[in-house]
Amino acid sequence: MTISTELVLFIIVGVISVASAMFMLLSTNAVHSALFLILNLTTVAFLYLMLEAPFIALVQIAVYAGAIMVLFLFVIMLLGAERLADDEEPQSESSLFGPLAEGGSNQLFAGLVLTIAFALVAGYAVAQGEVELQPQVAHNPELRVAHAAAGIGAVDILLDGELVAEDVNFADSETAEYFELDAGEHTLTINATGTEDTLLSESLTLANDEVKTAVVLIENDAPTIRLIDDDLSTLEERDNARLSFLNIFTDAEAVSVIDLGANQSLDVDDEGNVTDTVWVENLAQNDLAAPIHVPEGELTTWAIVNADTNDILYRLNREELFTVERNTSDLIVIAAEPEMNGGVRARAIPFTADAEPSFGGPESIGALLFSAYLLPFELVSLLLLVAMVGAILLTQRVSVPVEQRKRDVRRRVSRPLASVVAAQTGQNIFAESADSEAQAPGEEPQTQPAGQ
């Protein structure tokens, strides 16, 4: 049994987490409690990182361990409350951790040890790189159909006998979308549109977590299907796109994908070598090129070139379709399109799909927050606003108006005046009025408060 790095990290960080929570509870000094809670929140943030939730981990540190705990410490120091309510603490709980719970210096020492241990482990883990975790729940397979067979006209697409898309034209890249299926065997049927004429019917076996494109193409004058694995995994560089090229162009042995540069023509040196940037070289018929990563933008200077004769077959600036968007995974099919004179010419058809945003990253969370969770998000914002106003109202001192303050001063002066009068007249008018006031509220004096 090998012990993985993850297990070791989890045990160490988990122990520090539980220990700091205990010290938080046992500490007699509220400031120490708050510091232990900060350590605890930080260890939990580290566990979030191990669980592939980097965004939540950073929010935890910034909001929880930062802002909220500063508020706690501020209130503790404001009230001078770090030693308050100690007398009433039950003493029994400290018997086990007595030495640690009682001495302030022991506590500080323990906190220091825990913090240093956590810093060492976290620093080591960060230096070592990421912890691999596999999601344990599989996703359903997905399938899309790309119509790249010129000459069979518009088609209807049926999956397991059910119509899922109708009137799909050749090179219709807009409507090609993924269908989520159950794992297992499925029948894909392509009919000429609006009829029961089955052009082809094929049985496909799909396993969980697979994402595939079924490219309809013409082979030996008959439509067939080629299944291609789509790679929709997260791109490492955010503003890139992943392009794969499939060559089903029948009129050339092999093609290349070349960036022609600003002059829009193929530059060849004296020895016949192409000097422009070659992205895909010598892609033979029916081959799928390994995916390339290109930055987002328009592919206006790109062209598909016959690899043997260096003839430009197709310029990608011909249509606006070739704007590469960031974080997409695009399949570009180089297909043959019939010409008026009976020949064929090349045609590139892009089938785009969004690459998955990274799990737990700010992009995936932001996308959800502004789509499915927009209303709760607004409500929580409102709640924060109400809480802010509430905190102000709760802690606001009721300020005494200036006039009232003056009246208070005058009354204070008037009492000695009353006693002066009493001394002169021999009659204590102040005591009399005080007596009558004391009698006024109730006829009979109450011995017990109401309600008991």
Partner 1 sequence: MEIGIGAYVVLSAVLFTLGALGVMLRRNAIIVFMSVELMLNAANLAFVAFARQFNDVNGHLFVFFVITVAAAEVGIGLALIVAIFRTKKSINIDSMNQLKG
Least distance in angstroms from the C-beta of 381 to partner 1: 8
Given 12, 40, 191, 352, the residue binding partner 1 (CB under 8 A): 40
Residues between 255 and 294 with contacts to partner 1, criterion CB under 8 A: none
Please, what is the minimum distance in Å from the beta carbon of residue 61 to partner 1?
Answer: 11
Does 75 help bind partner 1 (rule: CB under 8 A)? Answer: yes
Q: Which residues, 107 to 146, sit near partner 1 by CB under 8 A?
A: 133, 135-137, 139
Chain centroid, CA 349 distance in Å: 32
Residue 232 lies near partner 1 (rule: CB under 8 A): no
Q: Which of these segments, 47-55, 114-122, 215-223, 409-417, binds partner 1 (CB under 8 A)? A: 47-55
Instruction: Give the 3-state secondary structure of residue 448.
Output: coil
418-447: buried (b, 16+ CB within 10 Å) or exposed (e) per residue? eeeeeeeeeeeebeeeeeeeeeeeeeeeee
Q: What DSSP designation does 274 have?
A: B
Asked if residue 429 binds partner 1 (CB under 8 A), the reply is no
Binding-site member from 55, 97, 279, 430 for partner 1 (CB under 8 A): 55
* Near partner 1 in 5-24, by CB under 8 A: 6-7, 10, 14, 17-18, 21-22, 24
Q: Is 60 in the site for partner 1 (CB under 8 A)?
A: yes
Q: Cα 59 from chain centroid?
A: 11
Q: Is 422 in the site for partner 1 (CB under 8 A)?
A: no
Phi-psi label, residue 122: left if phi above 0, alpha if psi -120 to 50, beta otherwise: alpha
Q: Which of residues 201-230 bind partner 1 (CB under 8 A)?
A: none
Binding flag, residue 71, partner 1 (CB under 8 A): yes
Three-state DSSP class for residue 71? helix
**Shortest Cβ 121–partner 1 spacing (Å):** 15
What residues numbered 146-175 form the site for partner 1, per CB under 8 A?
none
| Distance of alpha carbon 346 from alpha carbon 151, whole angstroms | 14
| Nearer of residues 31 and 344 to partner 1, judged by Cβ | 31
Using CB under 8 A, which of 116, 222, 298, 359 touches partner 1?
A: 359
Burial class of residue 218 (count of CB atoms within 10 Å of its CB; 0-12, 13-18, 19+): middle
Integer CA distances (angstroms), 179 to 146, 166, 175, 373, 422, in order: 12, 14, 12, 25, 100
End-to-end CA distance of the chain: 69
CA nearest to 183, candidates 204, 211, 207: 207
Q: Are 118 and 126 contacting, i.e. CB atoms less than 8 angstroms apart?
A: no
| Nearest residue (CB) to partner 1, 7 versus 284 | 7
Residue from the set 12, 39, 41, 152 that interacts with partner 1 by CB under 8 A: 41
Residues 84-103 binding partner 1 (CB under 8 A) are: 84-86, 88-90, 93
Q: By CB under 8 A, is residue 441 in contact with partner 1?
A: no
Asked if 384 interacts with partner 1 (CB under 8 A), we say yes
- Give the one residue of 339, 386, 434, 446 binding partner 1; rule: CB under 8 A: 386
Q: Which of 268/369 has CB closer to partner 1?
A: 369
Is 37 a binding residue for partner 1 by CB under 8 A? The answer is yes
Helix (H) or strand (E) holding 254: strand 254-259
Q: Which of 207, 268, 369, 431 binds partner 1 (CB under 8 A)?
A: 369
Nearest-approach distance from CB 74 to partner 1, in angstroms: 8
Q: Which of 38, 32, 177 is nearest to 104 (CA)?
A: 32
Q: Does residue 395 interact with partner 1 by CB under 8 A? A: yes
Question: Is the distance from CB of 156 to CB of 169 less than 8 angstroms?
Answer: no
Walk across the sheet containing 254-259 and list its strands: 277-284, 254-259, 302-306, 312-315
The CB-of-99 to partner 1 minimum distance in angstroms stands at 19
Q: What tokens appear for 296 in the block?
A: 């987002």
How many positions of this chain bind partner 1 (CB under 8 A)?
A: 73
Is residue 417 involved in binding partner 1 (CB under 8 A)?
no
